[in-house]
Structure 1
Amino acid sequence: MKSIVWLFSIFISFGALGTEQELQPTKSGLYDVGGFKLYLECYENDKPQLILEQGFGLSGSDGVWLKNIKRLKNDFSVCLYDRAGLGKSEKGPVPFTVNDMSRRLRNLLQAANVKSPYYFAGHSYGSYIINSYNNLFPKEVLGAVLIDPPTFGYFYTMGTRWPKELKTDNKQLLRQMNFELTVLDPLFEKVPEKVDHMKSYKELKNASTFGSKPLITVRAKNTDKRYDPPFVPDEIAQKMDDLDSNADGYFKSLSKNSKIVYSESEKHFLHIHDSDLVVKSIKELVSK
């Protein structure tokens, strides 16, 4: 993991990076999930159902996935959506947790008559929602691809690794500390999704594994670089480094049928920058 990539991916939406207008959904619109509506878009056929999850603050309706959907539609019936307050979806009650997001997704799929069971593919934070969905509704999950996901505890570590007594004149260090501590405030104004990360951590801490379901983790190229910039003291940086060094072990432990593959790209948005590997990995779910 690289600090600057993860930090900026929390707050910045890529927007429509590669819209393919000629691919038309078979189903699209807003569906009530319990007092508010979420936007769903599907490219349906008689193939196994695939649900695509986006990274933090990003929306499925931005068009980024369409090129990949064109390559997947012969193997899957594909749906993607916008979480509450993002893209074309309405805002719902805030703050919310990762389990709330999973329940909202389930309500959305049921309202739109998208029948289970499902394969999932999720980028970055989307992996947390997939993990939650599998924990809450295990019979509805067939397998998953996690695309450059943060290991479990990433956001929790951001909010807990900074000593309360820390005093420094280093403006860069103060800026990073104050930024990371915003995860403790789910209603922080500039955060696109009002997630209670600390409560979500507790919800996933003892989550069930995927059992023997196929699980493929696609990670960005391992550069062996330190997670934090040099100005972060070693005793603070070590917690993130430990989390990163144990990541492969964590992802392998999620399923008895687990596989980890590394991209040649160092980019975080691998479904854009290494779409061949991502598409190949998703297709592998139905061949395992």
Structure 2
Amino acid sequence: MRFVGALLAATMLLAGCNSSTETTGSEPQPDFARTFDIGGGRQMYLECRGAGSPTVVLVPGAVAAADTWHEVTDSSGVAAPSDSAVYPEVGTFTRVCSYDRPGTARANDEFTPSTPVPQPTTPEGDAADLHALLAAAEVSGPYVLAGWSFGGPIARIYASTYPHDVSGLVLVDGTSEFLQSELTPDEFAVFLQLSARDNESRTAQWKDVEQFDPVTTFDQLRAAAPVPAMPVVVLSGDTFDAEAFRARLPEDAPADYPEVFWRAQLASQDRLAAVFPGARHVTNTHSGHNVHNESPQLVIDAIRDVVEQVPSR
């Protein structure tokens, strides 16, 4: 269930409220994995390891928790923890962190300890939560944000809201607002039905599970300030299981809707990459939507590429 919602999981705060902190010394940075008080009676889980600057912050997709970045998909299609996964590998060359948003689920359906909040949430609210969490944990910037699926909009909104904090982006099959414009209104209505069905399935399993509203998400992305010039890599899935997708559709969906959706998805990724001048777009990933699990080395290499372009190094 934690991965089903991720496919669909395609700036209320002023930029002047930035509070970035820079790493100025070489003192050891301890590894940790625990919850932090972010205010308002709320706790959020964060884990960090490794040393160096910039700090890479891994932003999971919808419903997925921090441990999704610990996993690699094996030959049988099962994701399991591995030393070759994104989180441990990035921690060998710089500081890396990931976290659980409220309502997310870990492997074996273990629900996050992060305090539940009303759902659905929004990229703006999630970016504000991440900012509060990094401040509460005293995680030093600058940050390179790597956002998978619905984590992509959160990373983009964070970079546009707190531009002085962020020095690079890696978007891993990130949800794109251009999906809406690549579909006709009738086709987009089917997409919204699919999103609602997925939300209903997840809430039947977990009362406080994370949900997202595509219309609000896409509206916030379009309204956000442009992300400042910085190194950007966009990785896009290039394989698609049409039959598995068809099984999730409403019964009255057009017979060719999986093919219609896939064409729109590919086009939306091309347009997403074009938003960032000079961005590198990796389309030959040999992966479905879960690029970070199926082709982790591509994601690791993309993160390393961006990290090495950050001037502070």
**TM score, norm. by length of structure 2:** 0.69
Aligned residue among 119, 133, 142 for 1:94:
119
Are 2:300 and 1:279 equivalent residues in the alignment? Answer: yes
| Aligned residue type for 1:259 | R
- Displacement of 1:76 in angstroms is 1.5
Instruction: After superposition, give the CA deviation of every residue in 1:26-60 in whole Å (9 maximum; x if it has no partner).
Output: 12211122321100111041332000011110000
Question: Cα gap change, 1:224/1:38 in structure 2, threshold over 3 Å: closer, same or farther?
Answer: closer
- Structure 1: gaps (5+ residues): 1-5, 12-24, 165-172
- Quote the residue 1:30 is aligned against: 35
- Displacement of 1:241 in angstroms is 5.4
Which structure ranks higher in relative contact order (CA pairs < 8 Å, sequence separation ≥ 6)? 2
Are 2:81 and 1:60 equivalent residues in the alignment? Answer: no
Aligned residue among 151, 154, 157 for 1:129:
154
Are 2:51 and 1:42 equivalent residues in the alignment? Answer: no
Are 2:296 and 1:266 equivalent residues in the alignment? Answer: no
The 2-side partners of 1:252 and 1:210 are apart by 12
- Quote the residue 2:77 is aligned against: none
Aligned residue among 190, 196, 216 for 1:199:
216
Aligned residue among 219, 225, 239 for 2:236:
219
Secondary structure (helix, strand or coil) at the match of 2:169 reads strand
Aligned residue among 110, 124, 130 for 1:105:
130
Secondary structure (helix, strand or coil) at the match of 1:150 reads coil
- Quote the residue 1:180 is aligned against: 195
Instruction: After superposition, give the CA deviation of every residue in 1:194-252 in whole Å (9 maximum; x if it has no partner).
Output: 33433232211122333321110111226798997598437977874563253244222
Secondary structure (helix, strand or coil) at the match of 2:63 reads coil
The 1-side partners of 2:282 and 2:229 are apart by 18
Secondary structure (helix, strand or coil) at the match of 2:164 reads helix
- Displacement of 1:150 in angstroms is 2.7
The 1-side partners of 2:161 and 2:31 are apart by 28
- Quote the residue 1:152 is aligned against: 177
Contact 1:161 1:236 in 2 (8 A): no
| Aligned residue type for 2:101 | R
Contact 2:229 2:276 in 1 (8 A): yes
Contact 1:95 1:195 in 2 (8 A): yes
| Aligned residue type for 2:64 | L
Secondary structure (helix, strand or coil) at the match of 1:30 reads strand
| Aligned residue type for 1:246 | A
Secondary structure (helix, strand or coil) at the match of 1:161 reads helix
Q: Percent identity?
A: 21
**Paired positions, count:** 260
Contact 2:46 2:98 in 1 (8 A): yes
- Quote the residue 1:69 is aligned against: 87
Question: Cα gap change, 1:59/1:8 in structure 2, threshold over 3 Å: closer, same or farther?
Answer: closer
Worse-superposed segment, 190-199 or 72-81 = 190-199
- Displacement of 1:144 in angstroms is 1.1
The 2-side partners of 1:282 and 1:163 are apart by 32
The 1-side partners of 2:144 and 2:55 are apart by 6
Question: Cα gap change, 1:106/1:190 in structure 2, threshold over 3 Å: closer, same or farther?
Answer: same
